């Protein structure tokens, strides 16, 4: 039986997005260990298969000059010292169980999409990557925004359904089951690892 999503590792990148300690603890209320174990297994498989591994994280300079008060979503962070703590120190670090390793690429973003305002597109072009495997938190945030932008840029796309999480389970299910399949192949972590 042919794989659900054939992969050429030399031209494929796995994007682990916004899996920072605080974000994981807020968005993955149930089965946090299972979520991180699946994500870790995907990253281990990607490295062993010679795929490019890219970690995308949210980060801001002191004083958050990247955020406009006109932005309803990010403006809430700028106006709340409590929210700002989520993006500083140990809480802002990528969870140690899926932390970057030697050879991985780390991109810091200041908006929802992994592309907006970052050098992600430049890196993908330089590495001759045309296939992206996406996972992260939140399904309705970074995963959705990055998928739409990557789809418009003609990347081949897969989304790992059980390595995405959202506080709104109904919205997560709707995106995974109805929207994402129109632009990407939706797989489980196990299907990716066993099929490529």
User: For the segment 132-157, what is each residue's pLDDT rounded down to a tens digit?
Assistant: 999 999 999 999 999 999 999 999 99
67 is a domain residue: yes
Dump the DSSP string for 21-44.
HHHHHHH--S-HHHHHHHHHHHHH
Would residue 77 count as lying in a domain? yes
Q: Tell me which residue range forms the domain holding 123.
A: 9-195
User: Helices marked H in the chain — which ranges?
Assistant: 21-27, 32-48, 72-78, 81-84, 120-126, 144-152, 169-174, 189-195
Is 1 among the domain residues?
no
In a domain, 150, yes or no: yes
- Write the Ramachandran bin of 97: left for phi over 0, alpha for psi from -120 to 50, otherwise beta: alpha
Q: Any idea what the CATH number is for the domain that residue 15 is in?
A: 3.40.50.850
Tokens of 28: 């993955």
pLDDT at 47 over 80: yes
Q: Is the pLDDT of residue 54 over 90?
A: yes
| pTM metric for this prediction | 0.93
Sequence-ordered list of residues with C-beta below 8 angstroms from that of 29, at least 6 positions apart, any chain: none
pLDDT of residue 63 exceeding 90:
no
pLDDT in tens, 154-178: 999 999 999 999 999 999 999 999 9
How many separate domains does the chain show? 1
Give domain status of residue 112, yes or no: yes
pLDDT recorded at residue 2: 64
């Amino acid at each position: 039986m042919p794989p659900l999503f054939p992969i050429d590792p030399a031209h494929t990148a796995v994007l682990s997005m916004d899996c920072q300690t605080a974000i994981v603890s807020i968005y993955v209320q149930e089965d946090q260990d299972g979520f991180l174990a699946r994500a870790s297994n995907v990253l281990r498989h990607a490295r062993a298969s010679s795929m490019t591994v890219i970690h995308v994280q949210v980060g801001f300079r002191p004083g958050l000059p990247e955020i406009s008060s006109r932005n309803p979503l990010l403006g809430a962070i700028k106006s709340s010292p409590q929210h700002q703590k989520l993006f500083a120190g140990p809480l802002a670090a990528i969870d140690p169980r899926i932390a970057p390793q030697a050879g991985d690429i780390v991109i810091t973003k200041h908006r929802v999409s992994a592309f907006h305002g970052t050098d992600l597109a430049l890196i993908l072009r330089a590495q001759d990557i045309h296939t992206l495997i996406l996972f992260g938190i939140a399904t309705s945030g970074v995963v959705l925004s990055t998928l739409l932008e990557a789809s418009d840029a003609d990347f081949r796309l897969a989304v790992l359904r059980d390595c995405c999480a959202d506080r709104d389970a109904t919205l997560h299910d709707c995106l995974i089951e109805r929207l994402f399949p129109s632009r990407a192949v939706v797989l489980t972590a196990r299907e990716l690892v066993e099929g490529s």
